[in-house]
Structure 1
Amino acid sequence: MTWLNLVGIPFLIRFCLVVLFPFSALDKIFDWKGAMKQATSSVLPGGPVLLVIAIVVEFVCPIMVVVGWHDRLAAFLIAGFCVVTAVLYHKFWRYGDFWAKGDSQGRSHFWDFLKNFGLVGGLMLLVFSSALSPVQDVVAHPLSSSPYGMTQP
């Protein structure tokens, strides 16, 4: 095994998967008023507590994922965070301008909703997947597929 297979590629994959979360946490800190407005816009009570929990999850869990310390739990927590965020804060179906030409709040929320679920998929792969294929195998057989739905003992 090479350094690339053991450290480089896994680090890069994990980093890319979670890089946006710490920046999102910083955005919540620097725009506390705007973040609080969004946090209190859902049916969940306790806006300030929810906001602090979101900031902690967005700072701590990505570090856990990248360094591989309780990474499955951290990925699961971030995935749950993404589902809750999508369903409670990106209700694209509530906007009447979804089909309007030009800028649309409905379409903007639709894309954010789908992006959250795209992240959920990637994070759940981290939760449930096994080892990565070696770089040499991927390069040698670029059109091959991973074993879909197969589990290893």
Structure 2
Amino acid sequence: MSISDTLSPLIGRLAFGWFFLSQVAIYGGNWGGTIDLMTFRGIPGAPFILIVALLLVTMGAISLIFGFHARYGALILFTVTAVTMVVLHDWWRIYDNPSERAREFELFACHAAIAGGLLMLIGLGPGPVAVDNRGRGGGRK
């Protein structure tokens, strides 16, 4: 097993974990603004949904960082990302403002790329340096 086979999945998981925990800090830190955005988008019960989303994202990110049930963590993050992508960045409904439509499309595309990476993690697993693989001599699960 090469060093890239060993380190690439670990570094990728750490990058995902860092990204999602930073999003928790940003959206949780701007609680009022996030609730306003969700309410503007017509999401009922925005405070409750935000709490649930932030908890799920935190759990998923920690799961990826440690590689503990990483596939389930990636599935949780994929689900939250996909729902956010469709509900909050619905660029196809914006007709009257081309710059807003372009901005929302860019956010939608970024979320789609992140979701694709999470799907790869679900399919390929966390790599050899993960709690999921302890006791297996670093072998793949």
| Same fold per superposition (TM over 0.5) | yes
**Higher mean C-alpha deviation, range 11-20 or range 112-121:** 11-20
Amino acid at match of 1:10: P
C-alpha distance after superposition, 1:16-36 (max 9, x if no partner): 234221111111222111111
**Bigger radius of gyration, 1 or 2?**
1
C-alpha distance after superposition, 1:96-127 (max 9, x if no partner): 222xxxxx111111011011111111101111
Q: Distance in 2 between matches of 1:36 and 1:114?
A: 23
In the other structure, the counterpart of 1:23 is 22
In the other structure, the counterpart of 1:113 is 108
Q: Distance in 2 between matches of 1:2 and 1:58?
A: 31
- Which protein has greater RCO, CA pairs closer than 8 Å, 6+ apart? 2
Q: TM-score, normalised by structure 2?
A: 0.78
Identity of aligned residues (%): 24
SS across alignment from 2:40: coil
Matched, 1:126 2:121: yes
Specify which structure has the higher proportion of helix: 2
Specify every segment of 5 or more residues in structure 1 that has no aligned partner in the other structure, as ranges. 99-103, 133-153
Q: Distance in 1 between matches of 2:54 and 2:126?
A: 30
Q: TM-score, normalised by structure 1?
A: 0.73
Specify every segment of 5 or more residues in structure 2 that has no aligned partner in the other structure, as ranges. 128-141
Q: How many residues align?
A: 126
